[in-house]
Amino acid sequence: MRAEDLFEAIGELDEQLVALSEEDGQRARKTRDTRDYQKEVKRKRKKRAELYRFAAIAMTTAAAVFAVLMARDLLTARSRSYSQTAAETAYADSAAESVQDAAPGVLASGAAPDQESAAMEPDADTAAKSAAAKEAEAAESAGEAEEDAVSDKVEENAVADAAEEIGEAAEEIAEAEESLRSGDTGKTAVDLLGDLKGGYVKLEFISAQDAANGGETSVPEYSKEREEALSSALQNGQKRAAMFTDEGAPIYYVYLTRTDGKVDIVTFYEKGYVSMNTVPGVVLKLSDEAFAAVMEVFEE
Amino acid sequence: MEDTAIIDLYWRRNERAIEETDRKYGNYCYTVADNILMNREDSEECVSDTWLRAWNSMPPQRPGILRAFLAKITRNLAFDRYRARKAAKRGNGAMEAVLEELAECADPSGSWNAEAAYEAKELREAINRFAENLPERERGLFVRRYFFAEEISSIAKRYQMTENNVTVSLSRIRKKLRKGLTEGGFIA
């Protein structure tokens, strides 16, 4: 039997067997195709998931970066607004100081206007120059503020406030200049307190005797020596409890007027003690030299 | 069109039967023929011969599975054509390989007479029994390779096996066939 005979005999295989084998082959192919398809679907799904993940990460990162940039911009704008406001406030304060410096001249004009005016003229010039420079700076700041207001709404309110403050400062400067022009400037009696001046704007005194007789208060003249005497005496006095001391009788009352109009009273006693109505229970003991120097201030 | 309807057309001697068969099984039969002949012209002629043979077979035959019936006709016609071509020294490598493999199960020096109708029938029955008893996968491989003369690579792809795996499996199947044929007295 040759191979060809065998091949021919196989050709006579039962049709059922042939069909069965074919179906098996087709099933195998179908299974393979299905598996391939499933693999492909899985691969596509995985790729899609990966893409989605990358997209999500990218979007989150972009959002975070955006948020950080926004926050930074806001903070920068706010800090710029704050610094601008602070600068303008400082400027306004300095202008107010100038006004305060100038104002005592008005108060003291009754005492010796010509003399004080002459003494304060160089200072007035300097203050005027400084005020003009500050005004120029203020104008510049206002210009910048306007530009920022256009570009950033967040700064709008701050700029408006700043402009208002600048306006007020400008008014105060104008008043100060007017005051300087009239010559009402220079240190006054309240400056005798030196570093203790604080918020006081006026200093008057009266002896206990005059006070008892319904006399009027007096305003001492300012001089460097008197300031030295009064301020150093008050600064170097030793604190004592009032209940353990015998101050003696009061000899002078000093009235200190605050900016809001309230008046504090400092009392000098004959035994070298000083008390203040706002600090009850405590007295200051001045040295004999200091006490004597202070008495010279009041004994004109 | 359903196979039964096509078979009915053959039985009614309606020429549309060939048209419908060609439409439904033309490509399939061409593939079967081409596996053996490896030649487009010969394969197309083989398919045409198949339609003629089917026309002459039905009636009286009424095949249970038209597809397998047509495949069988095509395959045998293709093999006849192959043998004729081989005689004219125009053989092809693929079919040579199949026959070489089957030669392991044959016995050219034996006294078996293929012309004897009785022995041929006995052999067909033995091969059918052998194929029936093979596991599903092995039967598939056997039919694909030795009935349809399909390429090893094509079988490997169809069954998702490596070519080497298919070759080894076919070698085992041939050993079993040789054993069966020996036991049946077809070869020594």
Closest residue of chain B to A26, computed from CA coordinates: B158
Cβ within 8 Å, pair A16-B68 = yes
Q: Which two tokens stand for residue B150?
A: 């399909």
Q: How far is A29 from chain B (nearest CA, A)?
A: 5
pLDDT confidence bin for B186, thresholds 50/70/90: confident
Q: Which of B79, B106, B132 sits opposite A2 (nearest CB)?
A: B106
ipTM over 0.85: no
Q: Which residues of B1-19 are buried (b: 16+ CB within 10 A; e: fewer)?
A: eebeebbebbeeeeeebbe
pLDDT score for A90: 65
Q: Which residue has the higher pLDDT, A180 or A175?
A: A175
- Cα distance between residue A289 and residue A71, in whole Å: 64
Average pLDDT, stretch B144-148? 88
Domains of chain B from N-terminus onward? 3-89 (1.10.1740.10), 97-183 (1.20.140.160)
- In tens, the pLDDT along A137-174 reads 766 666 665 655 555 565 566 567 766 766 776 676 66
Q: Which residue has the higher pLDDT, B92 or B34?
A: B34
Cβ-Cβ contacts under 8 Å, B181 against chain A = 1
Q: Which residue has the higher pLDDT, A33 or B132?
A: B132
Cβ-Cβ contacts under 8 Å, B107 against chain A = 1
Q: Which two tokens stand for residue A145?
A: 């503020």
Q: Which of B63, B64, B105 sits opposite A6 (nearest CB)?
A: B105
- Cα distance between residue A131 and residue A126, in whole Å: 8
Q: Which of A5, A8, A10, A12 to mutate to test the interface with B (most CBs of B within 10 A)?
A: A10
Q: How far is B52 from chain A (nearest CA, A)?
A: 18
DSSP code string of A114-166: HHHHHHHHHHHHHHHHHHHHHHHHHHHHHHHHHHHHHH-GGGHHHHHHHHHHH
Q: Which two tokens stand for residue B14?
A: 């309606």
Whether A169 contacts A88, CB under 8 Å = yes
> Quick check: helix, strand or coil at residue B154?
helix
Delimit the domains of chain A by residue range. 1-186, 189-298
> Quick check: helix, strand or coil at residue B37?
helix
Contact A18/B at CB under 8 A: yes
Cβ-Cβ contacts under 8 Å, B76 against chain A = 8, 11
Q: Which two tokens stand for residue A126?
A: 């300097």
Closest residue of chain B to A9, computed from CA coordinates: B124
For the segment(s) A189-298, the CATH number from 3.30.1490, 1.10.20, 1.10.357, 3.30.310 is 3.30.1490
Residue B135, φ and ψ in degrees, nearest 5: -60, 155
Question: Which residue pairs from A163-169 have beta carbons closer than 8 angstroms and sit at least 24 positions apart in sequence?
Answer: A165/A85, A165/A88, A165/A89, A165/A92, A166/A88, A166/A91, A166/A92, A166/A138, A166/A141, A166/A142, A168/A92, A169/A88, A169/A91, A169/A92, A169/A95, A169/A96, A169/A134, A169/A138
Average pLDDT, stretch A48-70? 90
Residues 6+ away with beta carbon under 8 Å from B148: B32, B35, B71, B75
Q: Which residue has the higher pLDDT, B116 or B163?
A: B163
- In tens, the pLDDT along A89-141 reads 666 666 566 555 554 444 444 444 444 444 445 555 665 666 667 676 766 66
| Number of cross-chain residue pairs from A and B with Cβ atoms under 8 Å apart | 116
The DSSP element (H or E) to which A232 belongs, if any, is helix A224-236
Whole-number Cα distances in Å, B96 to A4, A69, A152, B36: 10, 78, 89, 9
Q: How far is A43 from chain B (nearest CA, A)?
A: 20
Of B19, B9, B26, which Cα lies nearest the Cα of B62?
B9
